[in-house]
Amino acid sequence: MTPAGFSGERTPLPNLPPQGGREVLGLQRVETHENTPLTPTLSPAGRGGFPPYRLPLESPLHLSPTGRGRLRSRRVRGLPRVETLESTPLTPALSPSGRYAVAVVGAEQQLAYNRVLLSDVLAGKIAVAAAQLKPAAWWRDRGVTLLYGNPATAIDRAAKTVALADGARLPYQHLVLATGSHPIRLPVPGMDLPGVRTFRDLADVAALMEAAKPGTRAVVIGGGLLGLEAASGMAGAGAKTTLVHLMDRLMERQLDARAGALLRQAVEARGIEVLLEASTARVEGTDHVTGLRLADGRLIPADIVVVACGVRPNADLARAAGLACNRGVLVDDTLSTSDPAIHAMGECAEHRAAVYGLVAPAYEQARVLARRFAGEDALYEGSSVSTNLKVSGVHVFSAGDVTSGPGTEDIVLTDRARGIYRRLIVKDGRLIGAVLYGDTADGLFYLDLITNRTPIAALRADLAFGPVAHNAAA
């Protein structure tokens, strides 16, 4: 079965007409020679064509974001700010000052898309096109050259060029690494068997949709966000699904025991079997997966095993170029790497010992980079992260430090009839953490209090009821 929106053929993006320039979001310009437009045209093999001589080499700033998927796209959309100005007219005859030539390099044979929607694509709830951030025409009209299906293979820092898989070399003045991360496979026997898949991109979704037929036995390893989304998608596609998790509760990094128990009940009510404190020993099978063997000896029959046990930053390209790396590509508060002409953001970047695996910090980083490229002295000082799960009608929100410790106090609200649980963690007169289950509408209100370290003495009496109750009392 071929998922909706997938096609065996690639449709070339239209060439840009020759002209003096294109706007990037109507704020700055992509300048080209009159007879050498930036042409986001695909070769017959489906790879983006971008010969180096097509670049306007005298332009003062070439931005070459490399990466894939949602974060790569937001980086370009953020030039020089994230807001989209759809109605701003494109003006050709522009002055030479403040010019940009923007190229996006990516490995996937797809336009940028929202990974959060992959479980809905897998379940057949939406088509692939609905997950795309912007259609091809949007990028074309803003003069952005797309080189998807043509990954970067090396960075020559001395020459300031990026080598691409098709042999082309792309010059840059500023290079943005938004290479994301890759899924971890467990170091156990059988992980290389046919039928073992990850759940990370549209290629994974296509393979899972082909395999997930009614009656198919699927086992998902991992009870975090990605594992829950994969299990929801597989169950929605008709597979008999079992979720196996090593820890004593689902989403143990984000949820307390009570919220974890509520989440398990909701997942099981949707037909997904949940096995907690279950360690994977090996994948069984000879020519194909036949089951998953647990460390306690139990065997779970399976036709397909989906591994969703976390991710690692894609930092190999940066390491090979001699950039400073730890878990991810090391960046300072300007989001510059050890080479000031190269920047990193998103899941591949490590800032102040933190590697964020969530979308919101990457958006914040994109805004900072965009402002810096526009001439502002913006700095990135880290993010207060939150987690928002919305699958199959289950709503969960978590932010800040959700562990209780010395000096902390819990404010708990429970409404069993409506399936609502809310726990707020307070320390030194400030909110430091929040767990919401069932009703997550007030999540951003609590996140703002945590991020801004707002004193809550005046809010305390109504804090558990959210901003509406507080405003009414005021």
pLDDT average, residue stretch 269-287: 97
Which pLDDT tens digit goes with each residue over 280-331?
A: 999 999 999 999 999 999 999 999 999 999 999 999 999 999 999 999 999 9
In angstroms, the CA 309 to CA 406 distance is 31
Confidence of residue 446 (pLDDT cuts 50, 70, 90): very high
Which pLDDT tens digit goes with each residue over 232-265?
A: 999 988 999 999 999 999 999 999 999 999 999 9
Which pLDDT tens digit goes with each residue over 182-208?
A: 999 999 999 999 999 999 999 999 999
> CA-CA distances (angstroms) from residue 349 to 154, 345, 361, 429?
18, 5, 11, 33
pLDDT for 104 beyond 80: yes
Per the CB < 8 A criterion, the answer to whether 312 and 184 are in contact is: yes
Phi and psi torsions of 148, nearest 5°: -85, 150
In angstroms, the CA 336 to CA 253 distance is 29
pLDDT: is 91 or 273 the higher one? Answer: 273
Per-residue model confidence (pLDDT) at position 20: 32
Confidence of residue 93 (pLDDT cuts 50, 70, 90): very low
Tokens of 398: 């978590």
pLDDT average, residue stretch 148-175: 92
Confidence of residue 473 (pLDDT cuts 50, 70, 90): low
pLDDT for 454 beyond 60: yes
Per the CB < 8 A criterion, the answer to whether 272 and 244 are in contact is: no
Per the CB < 8 A criterion, the answer to whether 396 and 251 are in contact is: yes
Q: Give percent of the chain with pLDDT exceeding 70.
A: 77
Instruction: Look up residue 453 and give its DSSP letter.
Output: T
Fold of 393-473: Enolase-like; domain 1 (3.30.390)
Task: Identify the three-state secondary structure at position 176.
Answer: strand
Q: Which CATH superfamily is domain 21-182+313-373 in?
A: FAD/NAD(P)-binding domain (3.50.50.60)
Per-residue model confidence (pLDDT) at position 31: 32
Per-residue model confidence (pLDDT) at position 439: 93
pLDDT for 67 beyond 80: no
- Same CATH fold assignment for domains 21-182+313-373 and 196-309: yes
Highest mean pLDDT range out of 123-127, 200-204, 429-433? 429-433
Highest mean pLDDT range out of 41-50, 281-290, 359-368, 391-400? 281-290
Per the CB < 8 A criterion, the answer to whether 411 and 459 are in contact is: no
In angstroms, the CA 26 to CA 374 distance is 13
pLDDT for 49 beyond 70: no
Name residue 186's amino acid: L
Cα 415 to chain centroid, rounded: 33
pLDDT: is 204 or 474 the higher one? Answer: 204
Tokens of 414: 């429970």
How crowded is residue 415: how many other Cβ atoms within 10 Å of its Cβ?
Answer: 11
- Please report, for the chain, the start and end positions of each structural domain, with discontinuous segments joined by +: 21-182+313-373, 196-309, 393-473
Per-residue model confidence (pLDDT) at position 313: 96
Q: Which CATH superfamily is domain 196-309 in?
A: FAD/NAD(P)-binding domain (3.50.50.60)
Per the CB < 8 A criterion, the answer to whether 254 and 237 are in contact is: no
In angstroms, the CA 235 to CA 205 distance is 13
In angstroms, the CA 182 to CA 198 distance is 9
pLDDT average, residue stretch 411-432: 94
Highest mean pLDDT range out of 323-337, 391-405, 455-469? 323-337
107-111, 190-194, 273-277, 395-399: the lowest-pLDDT one? 107-111
In angstroms, the CA 473 to CA 468 distance is 9
pLDDT for 74 beyond 80: no
pLDDT average, residue stretch 361-372: 93
Per the CB < 8 A criterion, the answer to whether 86 and 110 are in contact is: no
pLDDT for 149 beyond 70: yes
Ramachandran sector of residue 440 (left: φ over 0; alpha: ψ -120 to 50; beta: rest): alpha
pLDDT average, residue stretch 322-346: 97
Per the CB < 8 A criterion, the answer to whether 39 and 48 are in contact is: no
